[in-house]
Amino acid sequence: MKLNKNKDTKILIIGLGLIGGSYAIALKKKGYTVKAITKEESSVRYAMEHKIVDYATTAVEEALIKEADLIVFALYPTIFLEWIKSYQHLFRPGTVITDVTGVKCCIVYDIQNLLRDDVEFIAAHPMAGRESSGVENSTDKIFENANYIVVPTEKNTPEAIELCMELGRELGFRRVSLLSPEEHDKMIGFLSQLTHCIAVSLMCTNGDPLLCEYTGDSFRDLTRIAKINESMWSELFMLNQDILLQQMDAFIEEISSFRSLLASGDAEGMREKMRCSTERRMQFDRK
Amino acid sequence: MKLNKNKDTKILIIGLGLIGGSYAIALKKKGYTVKAITKEESSVRYAMEHKIVDYATTAVEEALIKEADLIVFALYPTIFLEWIKSYQHLFRPGTVITDVTGVKCCIVYDIQNLLRDDVEFIAAHPMAGRESSGVENSTDKIFENANYIVVPTEKNTPEAIELCMELGRELGFRRVSLLSPEEHDKMIGFLSQLTHCIAVSLMCTNGDPLLCEYTGDSFRDLTRIAKINESMWSELFMLNQDILLQQMDAFIEEISSFRSLLASGDAEGMREKMRCSTERRMQFDRK
């Protein structure tokens, strides 16, 4: 199967939140037929009124699932697993399914193991988001400068991997790449989960209401992601617990060692750390 | 004395770096006569060629100092102190001097104590900057959304305080306010210095060169300030050592407690922290 606008590839999205809605917007713009099943009646109404999808319903309609060529699961990880258990008998043989889950080891193998042999699950992680959730905040702009990571296992076919990468390109991501589930979770534990822990902790450190009167850009930038969807992120943290604990330990060790340099008045030691951070950060600007 | 464009208020800037140059640009646009004394011949050449100042020199010219109504010191803290010791005999009686130093307790009292009685020093902190230093990177845009804090002591006159606040408004700062040196250093220790320690430490935690291939906005935002002027910041950290150590300890304690919640699988405890950070961060959006 290939994504093919002329042949009217039918895409079904399960879960119309921020990411599901943004997928729908991007794919409709590209000419695909996009339908959706989601939990809340209010999301269905919003998505239909704003023409975000061609059709949406709160019912798990067998016909919708059967006609879909590609199904995107944009659900919380645990709900995704439950959904597959309950409804996988409705898939048409040959259907390809993918997801948007932010952790992989804990979900990809489980889904692939319990999935019917005639349906293929190829995992993906769109590294995009914003501070407000829900379909009402959907926009394909969040994909523009973002990365899309396809996360195959040995069970995946080259065709499904290529289809999933094509999906990332069609969605408008800046960069589409491949990682194993293990590589993915380690990378995300550092780049995304640890940064959210830091932002939340920094914000919780000081409750002085006068702070916002004096704040500059650096504090604003560091705490932008401290406005956080607590249900989703606490679940993601728990699902990547061991790796995130390792990353937190490494960071706490590093900042504690910086603290020791300051406490002992070792200005040259601090400058050494700053030169290291400056050099590494410059690499990020070039990309 | 008041800032008065019609009477041709003469402003002298000592130190043409990023901040000194940006002051010059903003004040020239407003019609003031701005001259400068700076260390490097290359900065003099650049500032003159780009009409950033009306006149600049590397020499400590007595006539320049005598004719100035307001002198702005845009130097590193220790150099500022040395300059006053060496050249304060050149000030005209009644001259008002101000500064741009990022820490206050360690410098304001010392300067005021050693300064001649017929010259007044009113301290200020323009909370603005960018990742690149030097007069070549000067721009008055950095003041647009930034805060300007006037930091008076009991020795200051209402006239000098008002003059300094007017300077902040003329420079184009979004907000001009007042803090005592002690309040200022505590605020800055948390909002600015701690955030730089965090960004540097986060960047030093992981040297994997592949990271920049997968990074998203949250990591970029958190580490923007990890590209840092190590000479200036190590000096600022040392000059606010006790307060910064307290702030680092409070943050390390907070992130360690978040780590404990994760380690023990206390998802509700993590959500509680996230609700706290979300609520606090929303206060910052309203301002």
Instruction: Tell if the CB–CB gap between B215 and A147 is shorter than 8 Å.
Output: yes
The answer to whether A178 faces chain B, any CB pair under 8 Å, is: no
Instruction: Tell if the CB–CB gap between A179 and B214 is shorter than 8 Å.
Output: yes
CB environment B106-126: b (16+ within 10 A), e (fewer)? bbbeebbeebeeebbbbbbbb
Q: What is the pLDDT of residue B213?
A: 83
Instruction: Tell if the CB–CB gap between B280 and A204 is shorter than 8 Å.
Output: yes
- State how beta strands A96-99 and A10-14 pair: unpaired
**Which domains does chain A show, CATH number per domain?**
10-179 (3.40.50.720), 184-286 (1.10.3660.10)
A36/A24 Cα distance (integer angstroms): 9
CB environment A127-139: b (16+ within 10 A), e (fewer)? bbbbbebebeebe
Confidence of residue B1 (pLDDT cuts 50, 70, 90): low
Sort out which chain A residues have CB atoms less than 8 A from B250's CB and list them.
205-206
Q: What is the pLDDT of residue A217?
A: 80
Q: What is the pLDDT of residue B4?
A: 67
Q: Tell which of B245, B281, B283, B285 to mutate to test the A interface (max A CBs under 10 Å).
A: B281
User: Among partner residues A214, A227, A238, which is closest to B149 by beta-carbon distance?
Assistant: A214
pLDDT at A5 over 90: no
Average pLDDT, stretch A183-201? 96
B229/B244 Cα distance (integer angstroms): 18
Q: How many residues does chain B have?
A: 287
Instruction: Tell if the CB–CB gap between B227 and A254 is shorter than 8 Å.
Output: no
Q: Enumerate long-range contacts of B58-63, CB under 8 Å, 24 or more apart.
A: B60/B87, B60/B90, B61/B37, B62/B90
Sort out which chain A residues have CB atoms less than 8 A from B230's CB and list them.
270-271, 274-275, 278
How do residues B51-72 score in pLDDT, each as one tens digit? 999 999 999 999 999 999 999 9
B263 by Cβ neighbours in 10 Å (0-12 / 13-18 / 19+) ranks as: middle
What residues form DSSP beta bridges with B236? none
pLDDT at A214 over 90: no
Q: What is the pLDDT of residue B132?
A: 79
Sort out which chain B residues have CB atoms less than 8 A from A284's CB and list them.
211-212, 215, 220, 223
What residues form DSSP beta bridges with A96? A70, A120
Average pLDDT, stretch B245-268? 98
Confidence of residue B8 (pLDDT cuts 50, 70, 90): confident
Confidence of residue B133 (pLDDT cuts 50, 70, 90): confident
Q: Enumerate long-range contacts of A175-178, CB under 8 Å, 24 or more apart.
A: A175/A146, A175/A147, A175/A148, A175/B213, A176/A147, A176/A148, A176/A149, A176/A150, A177/A147, A177/A148, A177/A149, A177/A150, A177/B213, A177/B214, A178/A149, A178/A150, A178/A151, A178/A152
Closest CA to B283 of A212, A39, A270, A127: A212
Instruction: Tell if the CB–CB gap between B205 and A127 is shorter than 8 Å.
Output: no
Sort out which chain A residues have CB atoms less than 8 A from B222's CB and list them.
195, 198-199, 221-222, 225
Instruction: Tell if the CB–CB gap between B255 and A197 is shorter than 8 Å.
Output: yes
Q: What is the pLDDT of residue A158?
A: 96
Closest CA to B97 of B142, B176, B145, B155: B155
Average pLDDT, stretch A234-244? 96
Q: What is the pLDDT of residue A7?
A: 56
A8/B151 Cα distance (integer angstroms): 67
The answer to whether A214 faces chain B, any CB pair under 8 Å, is: yes
- 3-class DSSP state of B72: strand
Contacts of A168 (CB under 8 A, 6+ apart): A124, A126, A148, A150, A176
Instruction: Tell if the CB–CB gap between A218 and B199 is shorter than 8 Å.
Output: yes
Closest CA to A103 of A207, A280, A242: A242
How large a percentage of chain B has pLDDT more than 90?
A: 87
- 3-class DSSP state of B175: strand
Confidence of residue A8 (pLDDT cuts 50, 70, 90): confident
Confidence of residue A202 (pLDDT cuts 50, 70, 90): very high
Q: A286 or A57: whose pLDDT is higher? A: A57
How do residues A51-107 score in pLDDT, each as one tens digit? 999 999 999 999 999 999 999 999 988 899 999 999 999 999 999 999 999 999 999
Contact B9, B33 (CB under 8 A): yes
B252 by Cβ neighbours in 10 Å (0-12 / 13-18 / 19+) ranks as: middle
Contact B214, A247 (CB under 8 A): no
Give the CA count within 13 Å in the CB-facing half-sphere of B285: 13
Q: CB contacts < 8 Å between A and B, how many?
A: 288
Q: What is the pLDDT of residue A4?
A: 67
Note the pTM of the prediction, 2 decimals: 0.85
Q: Where are the beta strands (DSSP E) in chain B?
A: 10-14, 33-37, 55-57, 70-73, 96-99, 120-127, 147-151, 175-178
Two structure tokens written together for A129: 């988001």
- 3-class DSSP state of A11: strand
Among A81-95, B90-104, B210-224, the range scoring the smallest mean pLDDT is: B210-224
pLDDT at B264 over 80: yes
